[in-house]
């Protein structure tokens, strides 16, 4: 079975542009998480979904960030407008329900905003 | 509120030497504990987890960790490391039924020949 698939792997854009990151979770997983990783702040949970419904978006830094999960096999994280401080690696992860709840991570999308 | 502290940001070690990566947590409720590994330019993957039962947990790649409730620790160990173990290691805790993981800041393990 394919793992979590993210695209693009690398994105370089200019300040003010819209950025859309995409994620395909593992089939059958109930939960989907979006994380941001930077050297300064480590791993930050931005938002997570359960059965396509956003459960907790308290980690979304500003209104410039939005996330959707229109169906069980696809999610997007959008930044509009982008700023240099948004430069980071963004990870998507999925998991099954239950206390074990192992997270399966994608390979990440490295975003550079100039 | 829960928190996780990884006591060492960087650990250099020679190949075939033993290593211990330290993790302490705080929580007022029962917890589930995890160690994840991140190889360069990759996502994180699970090394091992403690849910209940035996306090000594064995994971992949020869790693093990011991849950110590009295010291609120979950240190990761390997008796003999390889160059290929060079990576970033993250300790994480989940409290009760909360789906959110609380992450440590990571420990960078550098295995030198």
Residue ranges of domains in chain B: 3-112
pLDDT, mean of residues A23-38: 95
Would an 8 Å CB–CB cutoff place A107 in contact with chain B?
Answer: yes
Once rounded to an integer, what is the mean pLDDT over residues A24-44?
94
**Domain B3-112 architecture:** Sandwich (2.60)
Range A72-80 average pLDDT:
97
For residue B31, pLDDT over 90 is answered with no
Model confidence at B91: pLDDT above 80? yes
Q: What is the pLDDT of residues A97-111, one digit of tens each?
A: 776 678 999 999 999
pLDDT of residue B54: 87
Cβ contact (<8 Å) for A50 and B99? yes
**DSSP structure class, residue B59:** -
For residues A109 and A6, the answer to whether their CB atoms sit within 8 Å is yes
Q: Which of B27-31, B66-70, B80-84 has the lowest mean pLDDT?
A: B27-31
* Chosen from A105, A106, A110 to mutate, greatest number of chain B CBs within 10 A: A105
Q: Which helix (H) or strand (E) holds A22?
A: strand A19-24
What is the pLDDT, as a whole number, of residue B98? 76
Distance from CA of B49 to the nearest CA of A (A): 8
Compute chain B's Rg from CA coordinates: 13
Query: Which residue in the block uniquely carries the two structure tokens 């089939």?
Result: A27
**Rounded Cα gap, residues B47 and A78, in angstroms:** 31
CA–CA separation, A82 and A65 (whole Å): 9
């Amino acid at each position: 079975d394919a793992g979590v698939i993210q695209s693009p792997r690398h994105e370089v854009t200019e300040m003010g542009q819209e950025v859309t990151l995409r994620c395909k979770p593992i089939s059958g997983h109930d939960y989907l998480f979006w994380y941001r990783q930077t050297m300064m702040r480590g791993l930050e949970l931005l938002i997570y979904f359960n059965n396509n419904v956003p459960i907790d978006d308290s980690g979304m830094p500003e209104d410039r960030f939005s996330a959707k999960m229109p169906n069980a096999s696809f999610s997007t994280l959008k930044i509009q407008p982008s700023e240099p401080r948004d430069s980071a690696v963004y990870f998507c992860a999925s998991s099954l329900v239950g206390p074990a709840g192992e997270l399966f991570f994608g390979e990440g999308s490295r975003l550079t905003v100039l | 509120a829960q928190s996780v502290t990884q006591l060492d940001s960087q650990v250099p070690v020679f190949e075939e030497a033993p290593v211990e990566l330290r993790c302490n947590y705080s929580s007022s409720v029962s917890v589930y504990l995890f160690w994840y590994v991140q190889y360069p330019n990759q996502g994180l993957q699970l090394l091992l987890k403690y849910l209940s039962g035996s306090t000594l947990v064995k994971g992949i790649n020869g790693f093990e960790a011991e849950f110590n409730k009295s010291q609120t620790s979950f240190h990761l160990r390997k008796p003999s490391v390889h160059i290929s173990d060079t990576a970033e290691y993250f300790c994480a805790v989940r409290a009760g039924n909360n789906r959110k993981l609380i992450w440590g800041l990571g420990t960078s393990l550098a295995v030198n020949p």
